[in-house]
Chain A
């Protein structure tokens, strides 16, 4: 051993000491792979929708036959009152679904605009503004999705214990249409929260001048946000058109 430790690699290039171009290449590939995995998830969400709808076991998709009487079985102990459905489950209105979709797509458009600002080097404050807009839109999408949960249609059901009719909001227990549609909303919220956190990070980093020289992270954000917007659009179209 004729060399000393100082002559050779000492970890000087270790971890993250890559040029922005190298980082861009690695991370872009990772984001694409993540989108690929998410696309499989989306495909399976659609499979779930159409499979349950096509099979319509026990007329359980939307209880379209008024004669069917379905009682939810998974009531541990006597913690929930058994209820009967006497008619068709109403569709979830499309207005809030559309609002959520538009907000998700708008967040994608806003980050697209931010990327253009960064590319044209318009200035840091404009960039922060555009990213802040993205963040606000992502937050609005999350909030809108929660508001939709609160504004589900009202269903009249029979309480088996008392025999009297009661009014309830459409809920998870009301068949596979309600299950899948609400699952879609849950998946949307999970995606929007990721977008929100990333957008917030991009905004804070932009305000600290991290993107004055290299802004590949904004481009990666654009990739993912646009994907989220488009997948939300797909889910919304399916849940409106094929209810």
Chain B
């Protein structure tokens, strides 16, 4: 995976500063050790301070988990640069090279590595871990729902699994494209040598890694979080200390997404290669920036809802406690002010990635480039004004039903543009049906169904029937799993050769594709039917009248998991022993395909100069050759 470790020039790294020496000793193991030690220490201290107090358990849990996160990040090196900056000690060139992973081989994947490609790969692995955990939990949910009166899981276990399945998948889908590909691919696409803030980039991954154990740990605390991933207050105020761990997870995740969003935006704003004007940016770059900006808007709402939740639980405030003047509507508002933009934080980057796939495999320029970017911006702008459609049935403001119906239905106009762009790009194209293209067609099918079922939910009178019902569950799985995740899979298969340096085994990949495609329809069509008939969601047992639908849905879900496992198998086997990938297997025009595979540190052997946009398929002259590489005479690199 690395070609750099054997470059002679880079071997003689010098131990130079205190900061640099510390970096050399830190890795994921020192991080875990520091985190555990600090957490144990703080647990002991807080336990003796708060012991017997009113909210001792909650306070102790909050302090201990904060200590774990801080300790883990101390141990990995997140704070090194901050501390040494404060002391006025700047890192030397050698330190920075070391931090970027020079001469470390594969060990750098276990370290606080500032190379954006390492960070991207770390994100990819984390996403797969989260999907695997979330998927396993989904299998347990579907096993429970095989029969109406199943007692496979206790109601409490069932509720906690529903919660963590939801949050695990939400975290995974938020970072599934903006993590791996906006880090690995996007800087190369704009001709940058790295992200604008490489250390913050490493921070964004390690911070979220430190949050994952807190999320998993909720299972082992006081019977888990039983309030669903939306953790509606005041139900969540009733929960045990697991809810504190859940809130800490989210707060830490918020830090990661905020840092990553800022980094993405600044990178695109300041790090573009010569000639890479905004009008020439690939669609995926726009998607990453708009997704990042939207995340930056949404995450403070997540932060304030979780901070006030902790305040209620651990200090006794009454934001959500009715007898103290609090109200669940406050939670529902701040939560969905985060929650609806967040849906598009999930959706926009994968769709933008998929549009790159379509241009490459239809051998055509992106259709209506400016319109699709305008549509992304329009979606982002409207999405901050639609949150209350999640609250049509809460009764919080009946007079706002009309305005929120309007904004919600308006957002279908820019979303419809996505279809225009895809169909327009496919129109009269030379369709090259490689594996990524399969997922594009599956996306079209799934997302049109997800979109159409959304219009019933956007309509207040119809939503009064469908809200809180399996129909909603099926709808958002069609948009997020069938839409965003399938689009993400298209991007993954497309960029796999660049990321791994190997070609993906498309034979196994296509087997996986067909299982996923069919099983997905079976799983969620059955849920649409159950929902239309009136089955509420998030129930551990249900009326026998919904038995057939649930049985079929569970079988479909098992097959769906098998499909994803087959795809994972194809990915792992190809990564280990696949055929070595050429630099540009798809003959694509975006910049990331014009650097060597594996991609060297700093990406470009010579600086690119961009002269056109990367979609000049079928065009002649300068439009077709949209980039030249500036061979600097001093370096004597011209062949």
| Contact between A and B in the complex (any CB pair below 8 Å) | yes
Tell me, yes or no, whether B1 is within 8 Å of chain A by CB: no
Chain B positions within 8 Å of A80 at CB level: 53-54
Query: From B254, which residue of chain A is reached at the shortest CB distance?
Result: A37
B327 within 8 A of A: yes
**Chain B proximity of A55: nearest CB distance (Å):** 6
Q: Is A167 an interface residue (CB 8 A)?
A: no
CB-CB nearest in chain A for B270: A26
Q: Which of A8, A57, A71 contacts B637 (CB 8 A)?
A: A8
Of B237, B297, B318, B325, chain A has the most CB atoms within 10 Å of the CB of B325
Contact B319 A52, beta carbon cutoff 8 Å:
yes
Docked-complex contact B193 and A9, CB < 8 angstroms: yes
Query: Would you list which residues of chain B between 602 and 639 have a CB under 8 Å from chain A?
Result: 602, 604-606, 635-637, 639
Are A29 and B265 in contact, CB atoms less than 8 angstroms apart? Answer: yes
Please give me the residue from chain A that is nearest to B313 by CB atom: A74
Residue among A9, A17, A59, A174 with the most chain B CB within 10 A? A9
CA–CA, A73 and B322, complex, Å: 9
How many interface residues does B have (CB within 8 Å)? 77
Which residues on the B side are within 8 Å of A176 (C-beta)? 317-319, 324-326
Q: Does A172 reach chain B (CB closer than 8 Å)?
A: yes
The reply to whether B303 and A179 form a contact with Cβ atoms under 8 Å apart is no
How distant is the Cα of A104 from the Cα of B300 in the complex, in angstroms?
A: 22
Partner among A33, A57, A58, A175 whose Cβ is within 8 Å of the Cβ of B296: A33
Q: Does B315 contact A (CB under 8 A)?
A: yes
B325 and A60 within 8 A (CB): yes
Q: Which residue of A lies closest to B241 (CB)?
A: A76
Q: Tell me, in angstroms, the Cα distance from A13 to B602 when the chains sit together.
A: 8
A88 → chain B, closest Cβ, in Å? 13
Q: A33 CA to B276 CA in the complex, in Å?
A: 23
- CB-defined contacts of A2 to chain B, threshold 8 Å: 639
Is B100 touching A14 in the complex (CB atoms < 8 A)? yes
Judged by DSSP, the binding face of A is helix
Residue A210 interfacial (CB < 8 Å): yes
Of B194-202, B414-422, B464-472, the one contacting chain A is: B194-202
Minimum distance in angstroms from A184 CB to a CB of chain B = 11
Check if A204 is an interface residue, CB within 8 A of chain B: yes
Q: Which of B269, B322, B333 contacts A29 (CB 8 A)?
A: B269
Say yes or no: is B601 at the interface (Cβ < 8 Å to chain A). yes
Contact A52 B325 (CB under 8 A): yes
Q: Is the CB of B312 within 8 A of A15?
A: no
CB <8 Å contact, B99 and A15: yes
Are B602 and A11 touching (Cβ within 8 A)? Answer: yes
- Closest chain A residue, CB of each to CB of B196: A26
Is B587 engaged at the interface, CB distance under 8 Å to the other chain? no
- The answer to whether residues A74 and B321 also contact, given A13-B602, A15-B198, A183-B311 and a CB cut-off of 8 A, is yes
Distance between B305 CB and nearest chain A CB, rounded to angstroms: 8
Closest-by-CB residue of B relative to A55 is B327
- Please classify the interface of chain B as helix (H, G, I), strand (E, B), loop, or mixed, using the class held by over half of its residues: helix
Residues of chain A with a CB closer than 8 A to B319's CB: 48, 52, 176, 179-180, 183
B323 touches A16 (CB 8 A): no
**Contact across chains for B300 and A41 when beta carbons are under 8 A apart:** yes
Of all chain A residues, the one with the shortest Cβ separation from B84 is A201
Q: A48-B330, A58-B325 are in contact. Are A10 and B54 (CB under 8 A)?
A: no
Contact B300 A15 (CB under 8 A): no
Contacts known (A16-B96, A33-B296, A176-B326); A171 close to B316, Cβ less than 8 A: yes
Q: Across the interface, do B114 and A15 meet the contact criterion of CB distance under 8 Å?
A: yes
What's the nearest-Cβ distance from chain A to residue B117, in Å?
A: 13
> Would you call B88 an interface residue if the criterion is a C-beta within 8 Å of the partner chain's C-beta atoms?
yes
Point out the residues of chain A lying under 8 angstroms from B321, CB to CB. Answer: 72-74
Distance of B620 from chain A, by nearest CB (Å)? 30
* Contact in complex: A72, B318 (CB < 8 Å): yes
Query: At the interface, yes or no: B22 with Cβ under 8 Å from chain A?
Result: no
Q: Which residue of B lies closest to A3 (CB)?
A: B637
Which residues of chain B are near A37, meaning CB under 8 Å?
A: 258, 296-297, 299-300
Residue contact A173 to B317, C-beta cutoff 8 Å: yes
> Whose C-beta in chain B lies nearest to the C-beta of A12?
B93
Most chain A C-beta atoms within 10 Å of own C-beta, residue among B86, B114, B299: B86
Q: Is the CB of B330 within 8 A of A40?
A: no
Quick one: which of A190-243 are within 8 Å of B by CB?
197, 200-201, 204-205, 207-208, 210
Select A183's contact among B90, B301, B308, beta carbons within 8 Å: B308
Chain A nearest CB: distance from B614 CB in Å?
Answer: 22
- Nearest B residue to A59 by beta-carbon distance? B325
Chain A residues near B316: list those with CB within 8 A: 72, 74, 171-173
Report the separation of the CA atoms of residues A59 and B323 in the bound assembly, to the nearest whole angstrom: 9
A73 to B320, CA, bound (A): 11
CA distance A179 to B321 in the complex (A): 11
Any B CB within 8 A of the CB of A70: yes
User: Is A156 in contact with chain B by the CB < 8 A criterion?
Assistant: no
- Flag B106-147 by CB within 8 Å of A: 1 or 0 each: 000000001000000000000000000000000000000000
A contact residues vs B (CB 8 Å cutoff): 2-3, 5-17, 22, 25-26, 29-30, 33-34, 36-38, 40-41, 44-45, 47-48, 51-52, 55-61, 63, 70-76, 79-80, 171-180, 182-183, 186, 197, 200-201, 204-205, 207-208, 210
Enumerate the 9 nearest inter-chain pairs by beta-carbon distance, A residue then B residue, closest first.
Answer: A60-B325, A179-B317, A201-B86, A176-B325, A208-B88, A80-B54, A41-B300, A40-B300, A15-B96
Q: Footprint of A on B, CB under 8 Å?
A: 7-10, 52-57, 85-88, 90-91, 93, 96-97, 99-100, 102, 114, 193-194, 196-199, 237, 258, 261-263, 265-266, 269-270, 296-297, 299-301, 303-304, 307-308, 311-313, 315-319, 321-327, 329-330, 333-334, 337, 600-602, 604-606, 635-637, 639
